[in-house]
Amino acid sequence: MTREDFDAYCASLKSVTHVVQWGDASVWKVGGKIFAICSDWGPSTSDDDEHPKISFKCSDLSYDILRRQDGIVPAPYLARAKWVQVQNPDAMSDDDLRGYIDDAHALISAKLTKAKRAELEL
């Protein structure tokens, strides 16, 4: 998934906002809380490492499963909060990645207050 594809997909989700911060990272939020990031953070996985690295919030079970797969690692700075980073574009299909981004959006939305969810129509 390219950064443009990532941004377009995240923009299609309900009640999201977008900022570019932290050294040109594309940061997506719902209710002011981050659910997905596309950046250049993390170690290179090859000599030709021009692809983006996508990080997202996971459920406890998804975190335990995904962090054990080749090309996916606990996300830098966010691992303790159960985030993973897809470092290799071949580690996960775009369809699976979209599904995990949907899940991340839902996980973060569920943590918002009832009033905030009502305000955002979530």
Indicate if the pLDDT at residue 48 is higher than 60.
no
Min mean pLDDT across 26-35, 70-79, 100-109 is at: 70-79
pLDDT average, residue stretch 112-119:
95
Q: What is the pLDDT averaged over residues 59-85?
A: 95
Question: What pTM was computed for the model?
Answer: 0.90
User: Is the pLDDT reported for residue 43 higher than 80?
Assistant: no
pLDDT of 47 strictly over 70: no
| DSSP-H helix ranges across the chain | 3-11, 60-66, 94-111, 114-119
Enumerate residues 6+ apart whose C-beta is below 8 A from 114.
none
